[in-house]
Amino acid sequence: MNDFKERIAAELIAVRERSLAYTEADDELLVRQHSPLMSPLVWDLAHVGNYEELWVLREAAGIDPVRPEIDDIYDAFKTPRKDRPSLPFLGPAEARRYIEGVRGRVLDVLDRIDLENASPLHRDGFVFGLVIQHEHQHDETMLATLQLSGQPGLVRDAALPPGRDAGPEEVYVPAGGFLMGTDTLPWAYDNERPAHWVDLPGYWIDRLPVGNRAYAAFIEDGGYDDPRWWTPEGWRWRQNTGAKGPLFWENDGRSWWRTRFGRTEPVPMDEPVQHVCWYEADAYARWAGKRLPTEAEWEKACGWDPSERRARRYPWGEADPGPSLANLGHRAARPAPLGAYPDGASAYGAEQMVGDVWEWTGSWFQPYPGFRSFPYKEYSEVFFGQEYRVLRGGSWAADPAAVRTTFRNWDYPIRRQIFTGFRCARSELV
Ligand code: AVJ
Ligand code: FE
């Protein structure tokens, strides 16, 4: 195998180790549904194997189905998450056997194929990138399921760099065009393409994500009881849910506590806030006299290099995201303190844009001009419209393989179990 194939094989092995680590619990825990919002963990596990079989073995390599009778069970569109517990899904032992069998053949395919070959699924190892990123995304979903379950055990305590006073609260992004999206990153999804010029007026964007201290000040200022800060739908959400703060937060009358993978601890005031929905982020921003950044504003502040006039792969440039640049890959099960990554700053000086928490933007998930679905409509196209808000940047639970300045994630505006926070922006006064 050549170097590139070796790297793909290493990524395949690493992501599988991760999936298996999240599904080591007893069988009962794996087959149980912890929340109607989520699948049983063992469903996610076999689903990633089934996806890999469909795309690498059947579509790309033309190999006959291993177990065609289970396709419907693992088709996310045939059964919504809430109905998945009633499916005849594979049990834990069988699921592990199935995905291992698929993986063995996938490595054979990798060994055989010509990555310089013309087929769009194979070019630059695209189909392998597809399944590696897909599995990492499901791993992050499994972590959210585990967090909701309240089960202990997934706190990882790798030391994170200390926070620091990072200077002025906002950075200024001068008016001008930038290239949004990509034509060249080989593993980018269809929704990140094509690259296109976007012209923006000057604006200010927060240097750092909104922290727990600032968010607690919003709550303590009566932010959850004042309809002025909320959109009508947001206010309805607030009233129907009775929410008083981020998910997993509690106030004992004296201070704020949070529960994280089964441990209850004081809310660390110097960390980015997480587990807030879009409505909460939007209300906070209005209270602060600001607004959420549009997706284009977010991407320009994160990835554009105005002196080179080109887009960077990461805010700091092209270097891989090592532990001094960003908090990714579940090294610790938490966001890093504010100001922890001065070397990870973007060209405009914005920090912690990649890693720590996904960030809500003010934009709906919509296609870029010239969008073409690839390799299938159900990855992105069926979600376009005014139903999902775009999330950017990647959380502490996102893997570097599925993070870049152009990467787009999306979810319903009510979602809070995901590892999501936000930063604010405001238009230049003219
Ligand atoms: C891009 C994270 C919204 O989890 O629904 C997983 C990714 N697509 N399987 C999701 C995905 C198909 C997707 N998100
Ligand atoms: Fe999936």
The predicted-structure confidence for 256-272, as pLDDT tens digits, reads as follows: 999 999 999 999 999 99
- How is domain 1-149 classified at the CATH fold level? Four Helix Bundle (Hemerythrin (Met), subunit A) (1.20.120)
Ligand 1 proximity of 409 Cβ (cutoff 6 Å): yes
Does the pLDDT of residue 362 top 90, yes or no?
yes
Give pTM, 2 decimals: 0.97
**Domain range summary for the chain, segments of one domain joined by +:** 1-149, 156-429
Q: List Cα–Cα distances, 68 to 50, 73, 111, 166, 271, in angstroms.
A: 9, 10, 24, 55, 46
Is residue 275 a known part of a binding site? no
Handedness of CA 292, 277, 324, 208 (dihedral sign): positive
Quote the DSSP letter at residue 418: S
| DSSP codes of every residue in 104-153 | HHHHHHHHHS-TTSS-TTTGGGHHHHHHHHHHHHHHHHHHHHHHHHT-S-
Could you tell me the pLDDT band of residue 322, with boundaries at 50, 70 and 90? very high
Give the mean model confidence (pLDDT) for residues 355-366: 98
Our CA dihedral for 59, 60, 66, 71, rounded to 10 degrees, sits at: -30
At 114, the pLDDT band (50, 70, 90 cuts) reads confident
Say if CB 392 and CB 299 are below 8 A apart.
yes
44 annotated as belonging to a binding site for a ligand: no
CB 251 less than 6 A from any atom of ligand 1: no
Query: What number is the average pLDDT over the span 99-103?
Result: 97
Architecture of the structural domain at 156-429: Alpha-Beta Complex (3.90)
Each residue of 292-308: b (16+ CB within 10 Å) or e?
Answer: bbbbbbbbbbbbbeeee
Nearest-CA residue for atom 12 of ligand 1: 379
Pocket test for ligand 1, best of 44, 137, 140, 389 (most atoms within 8 A of CB): 137
Ligand 1 within 6 A of 141 CB? yes
Q: What is the 173 CA–ligand 2 centroid distance (Å)?
A: 36
Residue 62: its pLDDT value, please? 92
ipTM of the complex: 0.98
Q: Is 138 annotated as a binding residue?
A: yes
Q: Which atom of ligand 1 is nearest to the CA of 411?
A: 3
CB of 50 within 6 A of ligand 1: the answer is no
| Interval 115-148: pLDDT, tens | 877 688 988 999 999 999 999 999 999 999 999 9
Q: What's the confidence (pLDDT) of residue 118?
A: 67
Mean pLDDT of the chain: 96
Looking at the CA of 47, name the nearest ligand: 2
Annotated binding residue 47: yes
pLDDT of residue 430: 65
Strand partners, 411: 389
Question: What is the identity of the amino acid at 336?
Answer: A
Give the per-residue pLDDT at 116: 79
CA separation for the pair 132, 51 (Å, rounded): 10
User: Per residue in 214-268, pLDDT tens?
Assistant: 999 999 999 999 999 999 999 999 999 999 999 999 999 999 999 999 999 999 9
pLDDT at 178: 98
With a 6 Å cutoff on the Cβ, whether 134 touches ligand 1 is yes
